[in-house]
């Protein structure tokens, strides 16, 4: 009798844990888990007050009137943005190969590379910008960052309006957050 009870308990335990594991798989497949590839911000969102810092002594900080506005899920508007293509440097970090000293202003498209990086595309350029540039920065998209290849220069833009996803997808937890007005 004891052996039989033990087997019944074992079978019940297996059934319960098997059912729970199956439920978890179903929920994950149904999209109930956070998407690890989509940035947490909400469009429209805009960054500006751009700056370019060259790391040397003394540091050279230049403020530039650069802005990035993501108007919807695929479209962007850029002002005075560097032109070129993103590549990996010798350490494997993404950096921008600047193709010209002139800046681009106009329409662009964007897509997500992963939860921390988006790609801006406009004529002759494809630039990856991150909320987490080479281990620096924020995963909550309160700033955009990217590095220039071979110059030691780092670019940064600060949040101007929108919900950057601080604390998780779509959350509004920073008191200064303001929606972008159209």
Chain centroid to Cα 49, Å, comes to 19
pLDDT confidence bin for 22, thresholds 50/70/90: very low
Asked if the structure places residue 177 within a domain, the reply is no
Question: Is 21 found in the same domain as 97?
Answer: no
- pLDDT for residue 64 is more than 60: yes
Question: Is 86 found in the same domain as 10?
Answer: no
Sign of torsion over alpha carbons 142, 159, 126, 155: negative
Please tell me the predicted confidence (pLDDT) of residue 53: 86
Tens of pLDDT, residues 160-175: 988 887 655 555 555 5
Could you tell me if 156 and 59 are in contact, meaning their C-beta atoms sit under 8 angstroms apart? no
Asked if the structure places residue 179 within a domain, the reply is no
Please tell me the predicted confidence (pLDDT) of residue 28: 36
Is the model more confident about 88 or about 60? 88
Question: Is 86 found in the same domain as 60?
Answer: yes
Asked if the structure places residue 139 within a domain, the reply is yes
Helices within 30-170 (DSSP H only): none
Tens of pLDDT, residues 85-143: 999 999 998 999 999 999 999 999 999 988 889 999 999 999 999 885 444 444 678 88
Its domain, for residue 9, covers: 1-33
Question: Is 150 found in the same domain as 68?
Answer: yes
Tally of domains in the chain? 2
**Which helix H or strand E contains 45, and what residues bound it?**
strand 42-54
Question: Three-state secondary structure along 92-130?
Answer: CCEEEEEEEEEEEEEEEEEEEEECCEEEEEECCEEEEEE
């Amino acid at each position: 009798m004891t052996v039989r009870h033990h087997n019944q308990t074992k079978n019940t335990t297996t059934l319960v844990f098997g059912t729970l594991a199956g439920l978890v798989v179903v929920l994950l497949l149904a999209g109930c888990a956070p998407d690890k590839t989509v940035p947490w911000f909400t469009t429209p969102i805009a960054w500006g007050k751009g700056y370019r810092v060259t790391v040397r002594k003394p540091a050279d900080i230049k403020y530039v009137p650069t802005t990035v506005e993501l108007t919807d899920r695929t479209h962007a508007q850029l002002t005075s943005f560097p032109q070129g293509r993103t590549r990996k440097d010798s350490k494997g970090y993404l950096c921008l190969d600047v193709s010209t000293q002139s800046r681009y202003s106009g329409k662009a498209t964007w897509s997500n590379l992963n939860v921390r990086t988006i790609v801006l595309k406009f004529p002759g350029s494809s630039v990856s910008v991150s909320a987490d540039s080479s281990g620096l920065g924020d995963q909550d998209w309160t700033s955009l960052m990217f590095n220039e290849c071979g110059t030691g220069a780092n670019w940064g833009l600060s949040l101007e309006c929108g919900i950057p996803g601080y604390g998780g997808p779509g959350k509004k937890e920073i008191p200064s957050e303001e929606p972008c007005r159209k």
